[in-house]
């Protein structure tokens, strides 16, 4: 009597790939030093006074009103914004007018066609 046998192939060594352990860059921040609430100037030092010039004011003598004038940066920014808005509006208006006219004609044509179809259905 023959006993069945299984022929297995020779063992093949499979090379494994070494995967290095992951590393991470942990963020670090410089420590913020908050001064204490009772911080005082040292005794042997003098206080430095810085004077800020007063903003210019417009005086209206009849009404006794003083209006503060804006700084040059504010005036320049407002001027640039106004010029850009006017230029954009001036240049874009003709294009929008043409588009508006064409759309009105197209929509009016569709409305007229719809009215004609309604009349045909009724009669």
What pLDDT digit, counting tens, does each position of 107-116 carry? 999 999 999 9
Sort 13 into a burial class: Cβ within 10 Å, 0-12 / 13-18 / 19+: exposed
In sequence order, the 6+-apart residues with CB closer than 8 A to the CB of 90 are: none
- The average pLDDT across 28-50 equals 84
Q: What share of the chain is helix, strand, coil (3-state, %, to 5)?
A: 40, 5, 50
DSSP letter (8 states) at residue 37: T
- From CA 61, how far away is CA 2, in angstroms rounded? 129
| Tens of pLDDT, residues 70-83 | 888 899 999 999 99
Q: What's the token pair of residue 66?
A: 């003083």
| Report field, pTM of the whole predicted structure over 0.75 | no
Say how many CA atoms lie within 13 Å of 85 toward its Cβ: 6
In sequence order, the 6+-apart residues with CB closer than 8 A to the CB of 55 are: 68, 69, 71
The per-residue pLDDT of the chain, averaged, comes to 88
């Amino acid at each position: 009597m023959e006993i069945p046998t299984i022929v297995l192939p020779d063992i093949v060594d499979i090379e494994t790939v070494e995967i290095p352990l992951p590393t991470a860059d942990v963020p670090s921040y410089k420590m913020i030093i908050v001064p204490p609430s009772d911080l005082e100037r040292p005794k042997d030092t003098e206080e430095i006074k810085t004077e800020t010039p007063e903003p210019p004011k417009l005086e209206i003598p009849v009404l006794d009103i003083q209006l503060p004038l804006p700084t040059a940066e504010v005036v320049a920014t407002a001027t640039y914004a106004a010029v850009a808005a006017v230029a954009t509006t001036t240049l874009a208006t003709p294009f929008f007018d043409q588009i508006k006219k064409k759309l009105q004609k197209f929509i009016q044509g569709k409305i007229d066609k719809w009215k004609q179809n309604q009349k045909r259905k009724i009669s």
